[in-house]
Each structure stands twice: as structure tokens, then as C-alpha cells.
Amino acid sequence: MFDVLLNVLGVLFLWLAVEYCLRHETSESLDEASLTPFADDPEVARRVEMATGKTVKAVAPEVAKPGWINLEM
């Protein structure tokens, strides 16, 4: 019986902690955050926009600076 009570309290604590952390978030900010992983690849961002109808704020990839080596070989 004590185990069940402890489990319920644990789930309740987790739910309250998540609610507390997300209390100031809006649906727009959560949508934007969900699209962030696609922002650094313009081609993928375009495909996600076509699939979802939502605008991805894409970021242009960094241009290699003279004298710097490219680690992505």
C-alpha cells in the first residue's frame, strides 16, 4: 500500500514540476520550439514547412572562415 502511495506522489510531483516549468509558455512558443531542430538545414526546413504548413525560422549555415579547418570531412 505504501508503494502505491509513493508512486502516486511521485507522478503528482512530476506533473506539478512540468506544469510549473511550462506555466509561461504559449502555444506559439511551443510550436516554435518544436521546429527549432530543423532550423539549421534549409532543405529540411522547407520540407517541414510543406508538410506542416508552419513557418520554420531557418538559420543559414555558418560559412567557413579563411584559415579555419573543416572538421566535417
What tens digit of pLDDT does each residue of 29-44 get? 888 888 888 888 888 8
pLDDT at 7 exceeding the cut of 70: yes
Q: What is the dihedral of CA 52, 54, 55, 59, to 10 degrees?
A: -50
Mean pLDDT, rounded, of the chain: 86
The pTM (predicted TM-score) of the whole model is 0.51
CA dist 50 and 35 (Å) reads 13
Give pLDDT, residue 69. Answer: 73
**Confidence bin at 61 (pLDDT 50/70/90):** low
Give pLDDT, residue 42. Answer: 84
